[in-house]
Amino acid sequence: MRTAMKLTGWIVAVAVLAAGIVGCNNKTPSSPPTSSNTTAQANDAVDAAEPVVQVAAETPAEAVGSFLKALQTGDDKVATAMLTTKARQETKAHDLVVEPPGAPNAKYTVGEVQHPDDNPKIAYVSCVWSETYDNGEEEAYEVVWILRHEEPGWRVAGMATQLAESEEPVFLDFEDLTAMENTVQQAESATQPAAKAQQAQQPQSAGPIR
pLDDT of residue 104: 84
Return all residues near 132 (Cβ < 8 A) that are at least 6 apart: 105, 106, 138
Question: Is the pLDDT confidence value at 193 over 90?
Answer: no
- Reported as a pLDDT band with limits 50, 70 and 90, residue 87 is very high
Residue 101, class by beta-carbon neighbours within 10 Å (0-12 exposed, 13-18 middle, 19+ buried)? exposed
For the segment 12-32, the average pLDDT, to the nearest whole number, is 40
Residue 19, class by beta-carbon neighbours within 10 Å (0-12 exposed, 13-18 middle, 19+ buried)? middle
Lowest model confidence (mean pLDDT) among 81-90, 177-186, 197-206: 197-206
pLDDT digits (tens, 9 = 90+) for 91-120: 888 877 777 777 888 899 999 999 998 899
Q: Give the integer Cα–Cα distance in Å for 68 and 23.
A: 26
User: Within 13 A of 127's CA, how many CA atoms are on the CB side?
Assistant: 24
Classify strands 138-150 and 106-114 as parallel, antiparallel or unpaired: unpaired
Of 45, 48, 69, the C-alpha closest to 57 is 69
pLDDT digits (tens, 9 = 90+) for 157-179: 999 988 776 678 889 899 998 88
Greatest mean pLDDT among 122-131, 135-144, 174-183: 122-131
Number of residues assigned to the chain: 210
Domain covering 4-23+42-193, topology: Nuclear Transport Factor 2; Chain: A, (3.10.450)
pLDDT of residue 125: 97
- Reported as a pLDDT band with limits 50, 70 and 90, residue 47 is low
For the segment 115-136, the average pLDDT, to the nearest whole number, is 90
SS3 160: strand
Give me the residue spans of the domains in the chain. 4-23+42-193
pLDDT of residue 102: 76
Amino acid at 183: T
Q: Give the integer Cα–Cα distance in Å for 204 and 210.
A: 17
Give the residue with greater pLDDT, 207 vs 192: 192
pLDDT digits (tens, 9 = 90+) for 65-77: 999 999 888 888 9
Is the whole-model pTM more than 0.85? no
pLDDT of residue 36: 46
